[in-house]
Amino acid sequence: MHKAENCPACHRQVSDDVLKKYQMVCPECGFHHRLDAAQRIEQIADAGSFKEFSAELCSKNPIELDGYAEKLRQNQKQSSMNEAVVTGTCTIEGLGAVLAVMSFDFMGGSMGSVVGEKITQAMFQGALSDSPVIIFTASGGARMQEGIFSLMQMAKTASAAALLEQTGVPLFIVLTHPTTGGVTASFAMLGDVIIAEPGALIGFAGPRVIEGTIGQKLPEGFQKSEFQLKKGFVDAIVPRDKLRTQLSFLMRTHVGVKHEQDA
Amino acid sequence: MNKTHEELLKTSVTRLEEIAISDPRTKERSSWDCVLLSRQQGRPGAATYIDLICDEFMELHGDRTYGDDPAMIGGIGTIGGRAITFIGNRKGMNLRENIERNYGMSNPEGYRKALRLAKQAEKFGRPVVCFIDTPGAFPGLGAEERGIGEAIARNLKEFSTLKVPVLSFIIGEGGSGGALGIGVGDKLYMLENAVYSVITPEGFASILLRDPSRAQEAAEAMKMTARDLKRFNIIHDIIPEVPEGAHKDPLFTANAIKETILKDLDVLCAKPAANLVRYRIRKIRGIGEFEGSEAWWTTLMEVFKLTVDLR
């Protein structure tokens, strides 16, 4: 099978095999294709080291919204994922970490009760096992279908980040395309170090909403990783082929900060 | 059949007139009626309640970084000799004020001012009272450039561990992350006709129902009234308004708010800070509906033990 697709950025034809070899980054122009959770874990974790936890958590229909249950089932079938985030433990270049990977393919990576719970559990797992927590974000924001419960997940994940901070265990965020809305306005902006993949859309309000407010087109590159770096909201832009080594660098440089316990 | 914006507006005005002359005691108000009432021009805002509740009040301005956001009011007030930091969204009471105050939609500096005042309150052991009344954070160019997402995120995190009591009252519209940005605390109350939701009914209708004119239907589906949120155990209690709505008798509602504040602070101010924060986090951490829950309470206790302040 040698399927070839046109790169959405440079429009050149790149075969699937080549794309895979380059970690789904266009070898011609550097465009970062979206990854699902499985692909991301494969690229980041040491081979065979990833052990998923909280996999059994499954969404309910808390505000009894028509069609939500079907929508969930449909997404579960299409994505072969249970929810929009996968969490687990792994090693990266031999160092232990808690890893959470969001997937935009599952209902736009939206955060409902399960996503909020899994992110919270991941942070607490990191605190208890004294392992850095690494979260890859990709989300359109809060999951409207869960009403107020989805909004409250912002508070829940942010308070978990507050607790994690107090235990002295580091939180590393990797913002990937796109990260917007309630995820940006909660744990995604609370990392001790915040990395972004090149060219990712990162913001609170979506571009169309802002255009509606200001009544004109947004400038080129608005809300992209490079823009957020310039505005001071991300620490570094790291291309995909350097992510593993940069993350392991951060893990190696963030040890021994655990708060002393009273005897 | 798409209704135009003007048609919708006309229906809303007519409906508000109907609400004004109907007797709400005979039946429960619909979600949409609450949406209309919560947004009504002339509904008392944070400034009105602060004025009616406090013996004295001094407004404090600015985030010390960028500017002062007129859509957010903050300062120190006293009730019977007790000093309290007040923070609130501010929409204004008429069109001119609405424009001046950006219809209560804050920029990052508003949230940063709120946080500055909350940390100031913490330093001096003052409790914090927040009044929420906003359609949401401002979705503008400058707001994004100055990190509205970061500003809200930081507030959620900092308010969740603030070492003084925090009470929040949704007095009108509680719109999404912009409302939550000053809505994390020990107790959350809603006025009888206030609403609180993850997105406006108009937004919900246009995204999920693919038709912005179905906002009324969306409002019912979203379950955004005080009654709904009480049933979901998201809010602690409902603060009464007079039957016609808070605008008819602001003092009635102000007194009910004042009574609640004093009653709560008597209890909360007596608690050691660590207990207060642990209890607050426990409440937030427990929110969510899903299958396959674990016994999270023991895990949370273990995490508390690893912290300096909460063990």
Helix, coil or strand: residue B311: coil
Which token pair is B8? Answer: 């919708």
- The nearest CA of chain B is from the CA of A176 a distance in Å of 15
Its domain, for residue A28, covers 1-33
| Residue A261 binned pLDDT confidence (cut-offs 50, 70, 90) | very low
Interface test with B, best of A151, A192, A201 (most B CBs within 10 A): A151
- Of B146, B281, B288, nearest to A153 by CB-CB distance is B288
- Which stretches of A44-105 are assigned E, i.e. beta strand? 51-53, 58-59, 85-92, 95-102
pTM above 0.90, yes or no: yes
Q: What is the pLDDT of residues B162-216, one digit of tens each?
A: 999 999 999 999 999 999 999 999 999 999 999 999 999 999 998 888 888 999 9
DSSP code of B104? G
Topology of domain B3-270 in CATH is: 2-enoyl-CoA Hydratase; Chain A, domain 1 (3.90.226)
Mean pLDDT within B270-283: 96
Q: Are residues A25 and A144 in the same domain?
A: no
Q: Are residues A236 and A169 in the same domain?
A: yes
Q: Is the pLDDT of residue A135 over 60?
A: yes
Burial string for B194-206 (b: 16+ CB within 10 Å, else e) reads: bbbbbbbbbbbbb
Q: What is the pLDDT of residues A36-84, one digit of tens each?
A: 999 999 999 999 999 999 999 999 999 999 999 999 999 999 988 999 9
Q: Quote the CA–CA distance of B278 and B94 in Å, as a whole number.
A: 42
* Pairing outcome for strands A58-59 and B290-291: antiparallel
Q: Is the pLDDT of residue A257 over 70?
A: no
According to the model, what pLDDT value does residue B8 have?
65
Q: Are residues A9 and A43 in the same domain?
A: no
According to the model, what pLDDT value does residue A214 have?
86
Q: Are residues A246 and A116 in the same domain?
A: yes
Q: Is the pLDDT of residue B22 over 90?
A: no
- Of A127, A155, A203, nearest to B284 by CB-CB distance is A155
Among B residues 154-193, those touching chain A with beta carbons less than 8 Å apart: 154, 156-158, 160-161, 176-177, 180-181, 183-184
Which of these, A194, A121, A128, A127, lies nearest to A156 by C-alpha position? A121
- Of A113, A148, A165, nearest to B290 by CB-CB distance is A113
Chain A residue at shortest CA distance from B226: A148
Q: Quote the CA–CA distance of A32 and A23 in Å, as a whole number.
A: 9
Q: Are residues A2 and A95 in the same domain?
A: no
B156/A154 touch (CB, cutoff 8 Å), yes or no: yes
Q: What is the pLDDT of residues B140-168, one digit of tens each?
A: 999 999 999 999 999 999 999 999 999 99
Q: Quote the CA–CA distance of A122 and A86 in Å, as a whole number.
A: 10
* Pairing outcome for strands B166-175 and B82-89: unpaired
Domain positions in chain B? 3-270, 274-311
Chain A interface includes B196 (CB < 8 A):
yes
Q: Quote the CA–CA distance of A141 and A135 in Å, as a whole number.
A: 15
More confident call, B184 vs B21: B184
* Pairing outcome for strands B128-134 and A171-179: unpaired
- The nearest CA of chain B is from the CA of A96 a distance in Å of 19
Q: Are residues A181 and A252 in the same domain?
A: yes
According to the model, what pLDDT value does residue B125 have?
97
**Beta-bridge mates of residue B175:** B197
Helix, coil or strand: residue B201: helix
More confident call, A113 vs A212: A113
Q: What is the CATH number of the domain that holds A184?
A: 3.90.226.10
| Residue B14 binned pLDDT confidence (cut-offs 50, 70, 90) | confident
| Residue B27 binned pLDDT confidence (cut-offs 50, 70, 90) | low
**Beta-bridge mates of residue B128:** B85, B166
Number of Cβ within 10 Å of residue A169's Cβ equals 27
Q: Are residues A112 and A25 in the same domain?
A: no
